[in-house]
Structure 1
Amino acid sequence: MFKKRQIDLVVISDIHLGTRGCRADELINYLRTIKPKKIILNGDIIDIWQFKKKYFPKSHLKVIRILLDFLSNGTKIYYLPGNHDEVLRKFNGYGMKNFKISNKAVLKLNGKKAWFFHGDVFDITMKYSKWVAKLGGIGYDFLIRLNFTVNRFREWRGKGKVSFSKYVKYKVKEAVKYVNQFEEIALGIARENNYDFVVCGHIHQPVIRDQIIKGKKITYLNSGDWIENLTSLEYNNDSWSLFEYDPNNFKNLKKERKSTIDKSTNELFESMLKNFKS
């Protein structure tokens, strides 16, 4: 029998529910073996870009149900939308009990400031405006607006949205360069705002690394994804670690019990599904 691991904070991103690449079964196994106090869903949880294809199997629905079970049992969840679930950004600031939707989150962890956001806003920075990257203290909300404005203009001209992942897909040789640039931009802005940790998703590159910038140590973290890497970030006992899924560790996991979602949380679930389909 599995004993659930008590964890102070778990960061999960880039699940891409609603796509055939999503490894929902593995994620379900992982979620069933942890008991987190807080969860940060750091973007691209539900792939609304692909939602119109009507592919949403039971295992994907079960992931949402398990997350709602966490809510019902007292876990605080922050949902920080990414580019694939950006429709939820219109609910920025919405909160209900221990659930909150926000473009970013700043938490105090053992006296240190941690900045969480998805990271897609840097797509515009890297593709179009080198001068933006040099503005150090530029606000994240400004980047959100810039990203939105440029993509609206591109749609008006009949072009697709700017997507870092697509750019990397077609220009593999430059992937390392762009990943490094992404990390450097995040670290630079974190330093200008005096954050100790900067935590992203988006680029599907799980990592924890320290860098000294202007005399201050900044830790850059990326939670990876549940498409290929099957990773998450865990913060416990004042320390970060990177979880990497290994199927051999879940062979003896028994069948789960029936869901215990309370009425108000279930209403939230139904409301979210309605918004995705509209």
Structure 2
Amino acid sequence: MKKTKKRKVELVVISDIHLGTYGCRAKEVLNYLKTIQAETLILNGDIIDIWQFKKRFFPKSHMNVIKHITSLLSKETKVYYITGNHDEMLRKFRGFQLGNFKILNKIILNLDGKKAWIFHGDVFDVTMKHSKWLAKLGGKGYDLLIVLNTFINWVSQLFGYGKLSLSKKIKNSVKSAVKFINDFEKTASDIAIDNNYDYVICGHIHQPEIRKIKNQKGETLYLNSGDWIENLTALEYNKKEWSLYEYAKDEVAKSFEFKDTKKGKKKDKEKEHTILFNELLKEFDITNT
């Protein structure tokens, strides 16, 4: 099989993968990551869903995503892990650094002379501030709905009908209600403008977006990386331009295969990746079982 040439990307922002949940599209995430060569990878929160983590459900495909990300460290890719609400336990490790890997709550980058403010976004969520137990309950309900939706779509396709996203319709109606009280995008953009940030980059609300937002004081470019449960999107920065990556439109990634058919694969390279991964687990006091 001919080796797929990887796309070179200066900066990639990906969020809301929710590894450890039934709705996570881990194989698609890995497809995407395997087809790009990023100088910097920013994991913008909710990568591992610690809220709903259960030892009995963490498939190999989910672990493969983590292993691939750790393997990037040996290829000189800078990896920043920005904590979110579903992986908030990692916030106690804020500032932790291992080689090119670093855990942060937020980051400010200089991109070709412009300032980019990057954070997950749950700090603006009213439900997170005042009703965390309700937000967690909602997360479990959302995960259950994804499972139900998967079954419904299987039946629908069996009879020749298209896919239906129940969770997306319900989520959009709920987000509209929350937005009436606390406009997430406007709040993030207003603060960015006050601090002279050219870009404000979030995740959290699972709504991919790139648009300019203005107020009386100025303007900023608001960006949201979406999610890898329904939208399957990411943000890419190249040659001073931002773009919204959509997996559904990437025929190369969708046709990519991950079967290790190469018998002559170098063992030392695999060993190096394993060592890096085990070192990371050790730093976090996690047993690789």
What TM-score do the two structures reach when normalised by structure 1? 0.80
Give 1:215 shift.
4.7
1:1-278 equivalent positions in 2, closer than 5 A: 1-52=3-54, 54-124=56-126, 147=129, 150=130, 160-162=133-135, 173-179=173-179, 181-246=183-248, 248-250=251-253, 252-255=255-258, 259=270, 260-261=272-273, 263-272=275-284, 274=286
Give 1:100 shift.
0.8
- AA in 1 matched with 2:94: N
Distance across 2 between alignment mates of 1:231 and 1:171 = 17
1:230-276 Cα offsets, whole Å, 9 max, x none, are: 00000011110000002633354243656451634531134447189
Change (3 A) 1:9 1:273: farther
Larger Rg: 2
Distance across 2 between alignment mates of 1:207 and 1:59 = 28
Aligned residues: 248
Change (3 A) 1:251 1:99: closer
2:193–2:217 CA contact under 8 A, matched in 1: no
Change (3 A) 1:54 1:179: farther
Distance across 2 between alignment mates of 1:30 and 1:187 = 29
Q: CA RMSD in A?
A: 2.8
Distance across 2 between alignment mates of 1:17 and 1:39 = 17
Change (3 A) 1:172 1:27: closer
Which consecutive residues of structure 1, in runs of 5 or more, have no partner in the other structure? 128-145, 155-159
1:193-243 Cα offsets, whole Å, 9 max, x none, are: 111100000000001001223353300000000000000000011110000
1:93-130 Cα offsets, whole Å, 9 max, x none, are: 11121111111010000111101111111113xx5xxx
Distance across 2 between alignment mates of 1:109 and 1:240 = 11
Distance across 2 between alignment mates of 1:24 and 1:264 = 21
Distance across 2 between alignment mates of 1:263 and 1:276 = 12
- 4+ aligned runs moved over 6 Å, structure 1: 167-171
Change (3 A) 1:171 1:23: closer
Give 1:189 shift.
0.9
SS class of match (1:121): helix
SS class of match (2:286): helix
1:135-171 Cα offsets, whole Å, 9 max, x none, are: xxxxxxxxxxx94xx56xx7xxxxx154696699778
Change (3 A) 1:276 1:198: farther
Distance across 1 between alignment mates of 2:258 and 2:102 = 30
What TM-score do the two structures reach when normalised by structure 2? 0.77
* Percent of residue pairs identical: 51
Distance across 2 between alignment mates of 1:262 and 1:60 = 16
1:48–1:276 CA contact under 8 A, matched in 2: no
1:123–1:163 CA contact under 8 A, matched in 2: no
- AA in 2 matched with 1:230: L
Shifted more, 30-39 versus 167-176: the winner is: 167-176
